[in-house]
Amino acid sequence: MTRIVNGLVLVPDGGFEETSVGIEGAVIAAVGSSSSGGPEIDAKGLWVLPGMVDIHGDAFERQMMPRPGVHVDHPIAFMETDRQLVSNGITTAFHGITYSWEPGLRGAEQCRSVLDAIEALRPAFGCDTRTHLRWETYNLDAVAEVEGWIEGGRIDLLAFNDHTPAILERVLSPEKKKLGEYTGRTGLSAEDFIALTQHVSAHGEEVPAAVSRLAAAAVRAGVAQLSHDDKTAEIRRWYDGLGCTVAEFPMTDEAADEAVTLANPIVLGAPNVMRGGSHNGSLNAADNVRDGRCDVLASDYYYPSMLAAAFRLQRDGCCDFPEAWAKVSRNPAAAAGLSDRGEIAEGARADLILVDPDTPAGPQVRATIAGGSLVYDRGVAGSGM
């Protein structure tokens, strides 16, 4: 048994103890055991924390397309993404793969190839890498295909995204807001992209039935569901009635309050906390933590934000550290239906990170253990595993 010794361990009752953690195979075998004789990792001066669980991250898209129109082969892009994840203390990641009616970066061909690549590369990843399908609700031609993926066990989380009305409004505005971004990621001309958006938008009356069909498939398969950018209490109640019980990035106080009433976990962005507010005028995540309207923080578009956000919540007095850390470990695991991780307890999956909480650059991950394997080390753990 490998033991982590001399560190401050965040234990399930919500406090820190200077104790040891024993690892056998892929699980935590003991917490506080005095047995010795095996390899030891000296964590003196470090905090020993549960590995982070990121249920919504799409920063990998920048590895696939670092500049508009510049494509990187999937193995290179995803192995680099894996290095970023484990070096930032993320031991379970749900890649947010958008399946839109758009061609290009978020289109059908790309979505299929990304799913294939993740499945092929999974044995090589240090992070437990899973799929979070972000299905655009106006992507009606893909309903049968997505249903088949759910039934075949290829999808680990299903999110319902409804960006089409907002896209249409932007591209038809006098300013043509974000039109250049859309054409850059799709490869279409401005005229063709506007025409495609108008064509897709004309089928809005078919969307509720499509959502209901995929929600039912997810319930049958035991796949957790999230609704994205809820704007009203009515929308949140409707999704909850379909078995979609996670509110991801609610846009209004009304929608967030309804999620609380329904006991639905609320996911907000860790970059929002890290930066001190939303980049696009959405709800302030730190304020919602104070108000009891945030259960989970996700990396969204920036992997380092989860570590930084948890420490900032404590520093700014939004909540104590154990509660802040639960929002990036235990709570997202529970929201995703994973009962074997998110805390340091006997029998749990051995996902652990060693963090120096006080460096000139802020808190830094010094080592990451995922499923009992050392997957990242800044000179701390190598001699002990």
Cβ atoms 303, 335 nearer than 8 A: no
Q: How far apart are CA 64 and CA 74, in angstroms?
A: 7
* Residue environment code for 12-26, b if the CB has 16+ CB neighbours within 10 A, otherwise e: eeeeeeebbbbbeee
Q: Which helix (H) or strand (E) holds 208?
A: helix 207-221
pLDDT for 384: 62
pLDDT for 36: 66
Q: Which helix (H) or strand (E) holds 95?
A: strand 90-99
Domains in the chain (CATH in brackets) are 2-49+345-384 (2.30.40.10), 52-335 (3.20.20.140)
pLDDT at 208 exceeding the cut of 80: yes
- In percent, how much of the chain has pLDDT > 70? 98
Sequence-separated (6 or more) residues with CB below 8 Å from residue 280? none
Higher model confidence: residue 254 or residue 68?
254
Classify the C-alpha dihedral 283-285-286-292 as positive or negative: positive
Higher model confidence: residue 281 or residue 64?
64
How many residues appear in the chain?
Answer: 385
Cβ atoms 106, 172 nearer than 8 A: no
Q: What is the mean pLDDT of the chain?
A: 95
Residue 256 DSSP code: H
pLDDT for 13: 85
Lowest-confidence pick of 80-84, 174-178, 335-339? 174-178
Cβ atoms 157, 133 nearer than 8 A: yes
Residue 189 DSSP code: -
**95, two tokens:** 């890649």
pLDDT for 368: 98
Please, which pLDDT band fits residue 385 given cuts at 50, 70 and 90?
low
pLDDT for 295: 98
Higher model confidence: residue 67 or residue 151?
151
- In percent, how much of the chain has pLDDT > 90? 89
Q: What is the pLDDT of residues 8-51, one digit of tens each?
A: 999 998 799 999 999 999 999 999 876 666 899 999 999 999 99
Q: How far is CA 381 from the centre of its chain?
A: 27
Nearest Cα to Cα of residue 212 among 162, 143, 153, 148: 143
Nearest Cα to Cα of residue 142 among 96, 107, 166, 97: 107
pLDDT for 342: 97
pLDDT at 296 exceeding the cut of 90: yes
Q: What is the pLDDT of residues 336-362, one digit of tens each?
A: 999 999 999 999 999 999 999 999 999
Mapped onto helix, strand or coil, the DSSP state of residue 58 is coil
